[in-house]
Structure formats: structure tokens, C-alpha cells
Amino acid sequence: MKTTRIVLASRPTGMPQPENFRTETVELEPPRTGQASLQTLYLSLDPYMRGRMSDAPSYAPPVEIDETMCGATVSRVIESTDPALRPGDVVLGYGGWQTHSVEYTQYLRKLDPAAAPLTTALGVLGMPGFTAYSGLLTIGAPKPGETVVVAAATGPVGATVGQIAKIRGARAVGIAGGPQKVALLREKFGFDAAIDHRAPDFAEQLAAATPEGIDVYFENVGGAVLDAVLPRLNKFARIPVCGLVASYNDTELPPGPDRMGLLMGMILRKSLTLRGFIQTEFLDQFGEFYPDVAGWIAEGRLTYLEDVVDGLDNAVSAFQGLLTGGNVGKLSIKVAD
């Protein structure tokens, strides 16, 4: 069996460019004991991949040069040495940016195509949805009547955070870029307030939308959005730090005065809880997450959007768009029918 794959050819400086990748077709070894050969149907594109392109210290090892770019996949089983999986079964795995893969079956999760659209395993019922669920409820712990603010709120994590906050009785304020996304927050996702971070009076709009301050700020962006949020935080506010996409392509520290002292002073004076997290830290909660979110979707209390791009050859350009906010909803690549 052959696979067409996109490998990391060089480490990007700033925004990843097409020359940082190479497409090649290679032979795959037949599956060994405990493995299955798979055909990729859908590939997930997620912001964390930018960090994996770098060899800077991080929570996960970098993708090596000439290695297939990493990524979660929904795939069809072609051949399996595991009796629990048969040809034709559909599984969630980690095949990366390629058309076919050979993976260990212990790391695959069988999917039921009749239960939910297959792409939801990469989005609202997968890693992004679980990130929102575990980070918000474990670290943010919103209480009824509190104000929850989330950045990048039309993304698969942010949109889910806001809706779960409302289900838990909190007030949800979403921050997004551009009038179209702001409208989606109100009309599609039911946020109580929505603000365009590109507006010249963004800080003033945020203050007006949070008259009683902010109790939970779910951080996906950093940068200027965080600057506007900090003065609005209430005492004992909680800040789950999920991502900092505004700085992922930075090649040097931002200009201006050192504001670390200001941040640390605010943490001290307001008794803030600021914690970074990776969703794998909370895997013991997955058994609660799936029925909760699937149930909320079935009841019409939680909805989602997907942005599916056709063709593996469009993965690089789609990923560039992801880093600049060009997508709306969960971004994935349709690799095969």
C-alpha cells in the first residue's frame, strides 16, 4: 500500500510557507500484530500544530524534519490484525497529513457513523470539544450568574466554551474578529454579548459588555485581547489558558515596556487563578464529556459549525488561514470519500 503524505521539509520562521513542506508518495509496510492499515477520510487541522513545527521546548516533541506532519484523522480500516476491527470499520486515530497510514489498534477509537457525523469526532465530540469541556468546568468552574468571556469564540473550542457556560447558568461574552463572526456568536451560538476585537473601541465595548466584570476568561489568543481583558477581571477570577494563537508566529518578544510586573501584581491583588492546561491532563473526564455534549446537541442546547476543505493538497493553505482567523468553525480536510 502506498501513501501520499505531506512532510515537514524545514522549520518555519513566522508564518508557515509552502516551501516548509514537501509532498511525497511512499510505500507503507503491511500491518504487524496489533496494527491496522487505514485510509484517511478526514484530517483535523488545529492551532497546536504550529508549535509542533518548531523545535523549541514544549509539552510535546516536535515533528522531525522529513517526518509526516501530525494530526488526528478519521479513517476507514483496510486491513487489521486485531479481531476487534474489521475492514470497513471507521476509526478515530492519529494518521497525520497523509492519505493512508498504519497504526496500532490500541490507540484507535471505533466510530459509529450512524450516531453522529464522522467529522464531529475531530471537533465538538473530539479533542476541541473535550478541551472546552474539561478546561472550562475544571479550571474555570463557572457559577450561575457569573460572566464568562472567551476569545476566538467562533472556533470549535471557543464556541463550545460559551455554550457550556450558558448551560451552567453563566453569562457568555464572546470575542471574535469581524462582523460575520460577531453575528454568528449571537445568532448561531446564542452568546449574550459579542465583540469584534478588530474594532477601534474594542476595550470600551468589552467594558460595556461586562458591567459587573469578568469571572472566567477562557484564553485562546493572548496579545491585545488579553490586554483589554485584564483590567476587567474580578477578584478570584479564573483564567484557563488553552492557547495563545496571536503569538504563535512571532519570531521575537513584543516591543514596549516589560509588563510582567503588572500582570504578576494583578494576580496577587485580585487572587487570580491562571493555569495553562492540555486536555490530556483530564482524560478521566472523557466518560462524562461524551454523553453530556452529545446529549446537549440532541436537545438543541449546543450547536457547532464545521469548515471542511476538500483535498489534502489544500492542507497548507488551509492551515495558514487557520492561523489568521480565516476559518469559521472546526477546520478539517476531506481527504477521501
Say if residue 305's pLDDT is above 80.
yes
Residues 67 and 82 in one domain: yes
Does the residue 91 lie in any domain? yes
pLDDT at 9: 98
Mean pLDDT of 286-297: 97
Q: What is the pTM of this model?
A: 0.93
CATH number at residue 114: 3.90.180.10
Q: Phi first, then psi: give them for residue 101, nearest 5 degrees.
A: -155, 165
Q: How far is Cα 62 from Cα 272, in angstroms, rounded to an integer?
A: 32
Residue 291 lies in a domain: no
Q: Would you say residue 271 lies in a domain?
A: yes
Pair (116, 132) in one structural domain? no
Q: Is residue 327, in this structure, part of any structural domain at all? A: yes
The tens digit of pLDDT for each residue in 88-105 reads 999 999 999 999 999 999
What's residue 77's pLDDT? 98
Give residue 262's pLDDT band: very low, low, confident or very high (50, 70, 90).
confident
CA angle 323, 272, 128 (to 5 degrees): 35
pLDDT single digits (tens) 29-49: 999 999 999 999 999 999 999
Q: Which of 266, 281, 296 is the last residue of a domain?
A: 281
294 found inside a domain: no
> What range defines the domain where residue 38 resides?
2-123+304-334
Q: Which residues pair with 240 in a beta bridge?
A: 275
276 and 138 within one domain: yes
Residues 82 and 210 in one domain: no
- The residue-averaged pLDDT of 294-315 equals 97
Q: Which three cell numbers mark 81?
A: 490484525
Residue 143 domain flag: yes
Query: Which residue in 218, 123, 223 sits closest to 170, CA to CA?
Result: 218
Would the pLDDT of 56 be above 80? Answer: yes
Average pLDDT over residues 43-72: 94
Residue 138 and residue 23 share a domain: no
pLDDT of amino acid 140? 98
Is position 286 within any domain? Answer: no
Helix (H) or strand (E) holding 166: helix 156-167
- Same domain? 72 vs 103: yes
Percent share of the chain, pLDDT over 70? 100
State the pLDDT at residue 258: 80
Do 181 and 114 lie in one domain? The reply is no
Let me know if residue 325 belongs to a domain: yes
Q: Mark whether 139 and 236 lie in a shared domain.
A: yes
* Same domain assignment for residues 186 and 261: yes
Task: Give the number of other CB atoms < 10 A from CB of residue 236.
Answer: 10
Within this chain, do residues 73 and 45 fall inside the same structural domain, yes or no? yes
pLDDT score, position 261: 87
For residue 131, what is the domain's CATH number?
3.40.50.720
Same domain, residue pair 133 and 115: no
Segment 127-145, tens digit of pLDDT? 999 999 999 999 999 999 9
Annotate 150-186 with b (16+ C-beta within 10 A) or e (fewer).
Answer: bbbbbbbbbbbbbbbbbbbebbbbbbbbeeebbebbe
| Same-domain pairing of 229 and 276 | yes
pLDDT digits (tens, 9 = 90+) for 206-261: 999 999 999 999 999 998 999 999 999 999 999 999 998 878 887 777 777 787 88
3-state secondary structure 43-87: EECCCHHHHHCCCCCCCCCCCCCCCECCCCEEEEEEEECCCCCCC
Work out how many domains the chain is built from and give that number: 2
